[in-house]
Structure 1
Amino acid sequence: MSEPCMKLVLVTPEIPYNTGAIGRTCVALNLELILIKPYGFSLTEKAVRRAGTDYWKYVHLSEYDSWKHFLDDRKPRPESLFFFEEHGEQTLYDADYQPDAYLVFGCESKGLPLAILNGMEDQTFSLPMLDSRVRSLNLANVATAVIYQAMRTQLGG
């Protein structure tokens, strides 16, 4: 299997099931999963393993103690960072995904911190929701939708 190019980043994830499900999707599509601490759970919890089923052991996983440590270590180009937030002015369909893209998602209860999003408005995207009664979508569902859209553009589909 080749080294993953596109990466999925979860900043302070809170729900083990979502992280496990996202990890499973990353294995299926050969994406690296990057987790930024602190977590709202332990990676050894049964819920993470259950959601990832027996695939969790295959997750290409990297962990960082903070967003700053991630930036200092990876040094991503600003145009390779794609942030997904409920209030992004553009949709996931507007993004020009790079092959080395970092698809960045915040925690389930608060989203991404403003300190991360400040100055990155051009790189912040949302998923359309057509009914205003729905305040937010499940993180694992959003991440999966974004991953497939980003990969579709990379595969020329």
Structure 2
Amino acid sequence: MSKPRLKIVLVTPEIPYNTGAIGRTCVALELELILIKPYGFSLDEKAVKRAGTDYWKHVTLSEYDDWETFIAERKPPRDSMYFFEEDGEHSLYEPDYQQDAYLVFGCESAGLPRSILDGNDDRVFHLPMLSPLVRSLNLANVATAVIYQAMRPQLMG
């Protein structure tokens, strides 16, 4: 039996560089990357591979045609789902993340659809920002910060 691992879920990602960079982080930490279509790019694009450098071929990648298919096939327990939005009710520092959690991020321009967030307000988290001048942060940067926070107990060993 394999040990539990976090899973990173990108819902309709738009920018290939972000997806590539997140994929590279997944390789570094032996995590699965789950992509929910449609994408704003092709996975064959050089930009994805450039951001993931020569690591992209090592990404443990799963793809789903839509959110409903992902939920139907994976059947993730509600308490293993953590959603990230700039206006999330809770800080990413609050939860004790499950080792096999799904960390869910939306597309760069619009975030997660309301249809996904409805009924999950207690599961929506944000990365704190101090300056009112910044509306949001880069998806790859947020994902990396969240991943390392979620894995902190494992990484501190």
RMSD of aligned alpha carbons = 1.3
Question: What is the TM-score normalised by the length of structure 2?
Answer: 0.96
1:101 maps to 101
Q: Is 1:25 the equivalent of 2:22?
A: no
CA displacement, residues 120-151 of structure 1 (integer Å, 9 cap, x when unaligned): 01110000000011000000000000000000
1:34 maps to 34
Instruction: Quote the Cα distance in structure 2 between the aligned partners of 1:61 and 1:93.
Output: 27
Output the amino acid matched with 1:109: S
1:53 maps to 53
Task: Verify the 8 A CA contact 2:88 2:125 in the aligned structure 1.
Answer: yes
1:156 positional shift: 5.4
CA displacement, residues 38-92 of structure 1 (integer Å, 9 cap, x when unaligned): 0000000000000000000000000000000000000000000000000001010
Instruction: Quote the Cα distance in structure 1 between the aligned partners of 2:94 and 2:58.
Output: 31
2:132 maps to 132
Output the amino acid matched with 1:55: Y
Secondary structure at the aligned position of 1:5 is classed as coil
1:65 maps to 65
Output the amino acid matched with 1:25: T
Question: What is the TM-score normalised by the length of structure 1?
Answer: 0.96
1:82 maps to 82
Instruction: Quote the Cα distance in structure 2 between the aligned partners of 1:15 and 1:48.
Output: 8
Q: Is 1:92 the equivalent of 2:113?
A: no
Tell me which stretches of 4 or more aligned residues in structure 1 moved more than 3 Å: 153-157
Task: Verify the 8 A CA contact 1:108 1:139 in the aligned structure 2.
Answer: yes
1:155 positional shift: 4.4
Extract unaligned runs of 5+ from structure 1.
none
1:154 positional shift: 4.0
Output the amino acid matched with 1:80: S
1:122 maps to 122
Output the amino acid matched with 2:19: T
1:3 positional shift: 6.5
